[in-house]
Structure 1
Amino acid sequence: MPSTSQVRIAARRYLSWYWFPIIGSIVWIGTLLGLLITWLADGSPHYESMDTDGQNIAYISDIGADYLKPLFITGSSITSVCFVLSLFGARWLRHRGRILPNTSMTQRVFSIISIIGAIIGGIGLVLLAVFDTRRYTTLHRVFLVVFCGGVLVSALGTVLEYWRLKRNYKTSRALTISMWTKLIFFIVEFALAIAFGILMRNRNHNAGAIVEWVLGILFTGYLLSFNFDLLPAARSHTDQFKDVELSRPVSSHY
């Protein structure tokens, strides 16, 4: 008969924080594909919210403002919740010592900033889906800025936290990979967000729509990257990493 500890470890493989980034990324990419495939299957129609001066590529929001609005709202809501819970899970698991713990107040502050940014970004994502671009153009654009800004703040907070962690756990290969992955995401997303804003302002909507789709797809990968961070907790126990020596090799752990 399996011991209590064995049962707990087995349960963590099926009921653990690492499921949130998986579910969120699947729902988000599924939402994007559902919108895109439907638009293409319908013959790439020109929606009411699209610019009449040469725009023939629909923004995500153009498709989400039509009869697929319930899908857009549902997908955005689930994705937002999973995004926030992924970051909260990382904060909680570090506190519990089930993944490499924070070693300074600065690291904890950066972690909290990343959670707050995720909450703001998540709220922005839900509200931009609710206040669609066809009926509430100004509000939609405001919440689009809130979403992008929140995600970028969250990503920056996470990168800075991991950078500070890396100074303590220099031999953790997993931590290094995760930090660089999120840093690259932040740089690329920041550059694309600026390009998107410029294209929107110059009314270059076809190029702007392409950039928006790329931004949406990249967000899927960023969210999924947290699975890499949280997965070790499925095999660890409380306080397992709290006594890890900072100079000790931890390449197989996070």
Structure 2
Amino acid sequence: MSLLSERHRYFVLIPLFAAFIWFSTLLAMLLTWLISGRPKYVSTQVAVAYISDVGACFLKPLFVVTCCLTGPGLVISLIIERLLRHKGRLPPEFHTYERIFGELAIAGALIAMFGLAFLSGFDTGRYPTEHLVFLLVFMVGVSLSSIFTVIEFRWLADDYPEVEKLKRAYIAKAVIGLSLVVLAIMFGVSLFNAQNIGGVVEWLIAFGFTFYLLTFAYDLRMAKVGEGEDNLLR
């Protein structure tokens, strides 16, 4: 078996690790706020604390490290998926437009990665305007990446023999991606009209992003093949 086949299981760990560290940090931040008696932070003074409020306090180092690991985890997962398609271990691309949308999905993930890293550094307590800008950059990047990924998967499904397995993958991405886009729009509106609702929506978006990361673990898991299949796919 090729080196790629032997180590495919380690590729799955990348989105799993990103999802785990992201979810764990969010849970730790949420529990910290609840156990502390649901305090109102100076940055917003709303009943439901925003993630950025909790991330601007003593938990900021944890928040920054998590954001700087989660973003690259998403990008690397997409790049590995692209390489596995090239090697024939995932549904290959038969058309140029499939490759273009795949590359656009990676570009969207890169935008999200930088937005996530910078929003964690420019906390809402000292840099409210910059934080909001990079938060929007992150949400736009994730939205674009999910849209382009779903479009690519839709076309791949037309040519791939195991269409049912692939269909589950892009349906999951479509549902989660569309939900995140809708929630992002709601979040943008609530920032100016209903800030308490905005806090709830932000937490929903953040936890929902965990499931989006996990869909890539499913994709990469499909790269597992037997030794006989490996010889055919080299």
State the TM-score, normalizing by the size of structure 2. Answer: 0.93
The answer for the alignment partner of 1:216 in structure 2 is 206
Distance in structure 2 (CA, Å) of the matches to 1:177 and 1:130:
37
What whole-Å deviation, never above 9, does each CA across 1:188-242 have from its counterpart, x for those lacking one?
111111111111011x111100000000011000001101100122436767458
State whether residues 24 and 82 of structure 1, in contact with CA within 8 Å, keep that contact through their aligned partners in structure 2: yes
Residue number among 30, 36, 40 corresponding to 2:34 in the alignment? 40
Q: Percent identity?
A: 38
CA shift in 2, pair 1:155/1:241, >3 Å: farther
Could you say which structure has the larger radius of gyration? 1
**How far is 1:77 from its partner?**
0.9
5+ unaligned residues in a row in structure 1: which ranges?
Answer: 243-254
Indicate the RMSD between aligned Cα atoms, in angstroms. 1.9
The answer for the alignment partner of 2:12 in structure 1 is 18
The answer for the alignment partner of 2:177 in structure 1 is 186
**How far is 1:175 from its partner?**
0.5
What whole-Å deviation, never above 9, does each CA across 1:27-54 have from its counterpart, x for those lacking one?
0001101111111111111111123xxx
5+ unaligned residues in a row in structure 2: which ranges?
Answer: none
2:187 corresponds to which letter in structure 1? F
2:80 corresponds to which letter in structure 1? G
What whole-Å deviation, never above 9, does each CA across 1:63-114 have from its counterpart, x for those lacking one?
0011100010011111111110110111010011111111111000000000
State whether residues 5 and 230 of structure 2, in contact with CA within 8 Å, keep that contact through their aligned partners in structure 1: no
The answer for the alignment partner of 1:247 in structure 2 is none
Distance in structure 2 (CA, Å) of the matches to 1:141 and 1:238:
48
Distance in structure 1 (CA, Å) of the matches to 2:190 and 2:59:
25
The answer for the alignment partner of 2:81 in structure 1 is 90
The answer for the alignment partner of 1:160 in structure 2 is 151
State whether residues 178 and 228 of structure 1, in contact with CA within 8 Å, keep that contact through their aligned partners in structure 2: yes
Distance in structure 2 (CA, Å) of the matches to 1:124 and 1:23:
20
Residue number among 160, 163, 188 corresponding to 1:172 in the alignment? 163
Distance in structure 2 (CA, Å) of the matches to 1:215 and 1:43:
23
The answer for the alignment partner of 1:58 in structure 2 is 49
Distance in structure 1 (CA, Å) of the matches to 2:171 and 2:4:
32
State whether residues 97 and 239 of structure 1, in contact with CA within 8 Å, keep that contact through their aligned partners in structure 2: no
Distance in structure 2 (CA, Å) of the matches to 1:97 and 1:118:
23
Residue number among 188, 209, 221 corresponding to 1:231 in the alignment? 221
1:140 corresponds to which letter in structure 2? H
Distance in structure 2 (CA, Å) of the matches to 1:7 and 1:64:
41
CA shift in 2, pair 1:221/1:104, >3 Å: same
CA shift in 2, pair 1:239/1:79, >3 Å: farther
State the TM-score, normalizing by the size of structure 1. Answer: 0.86
**How far is 1:11 from its partner?**
4.5
Distance in structure 2 (CA, Å) of the matches to 1:33 and 1:150:
23
**How far is 1:170 from its partner?**
5.8
Distance in structure 2 (CA, Å) of the matches to 1:115 and 1:32:
24
State whether residues 21 and 226 of structure 1, in contact with CA within 8 Å, keep that contact through their aligned partners in structure 2: yes
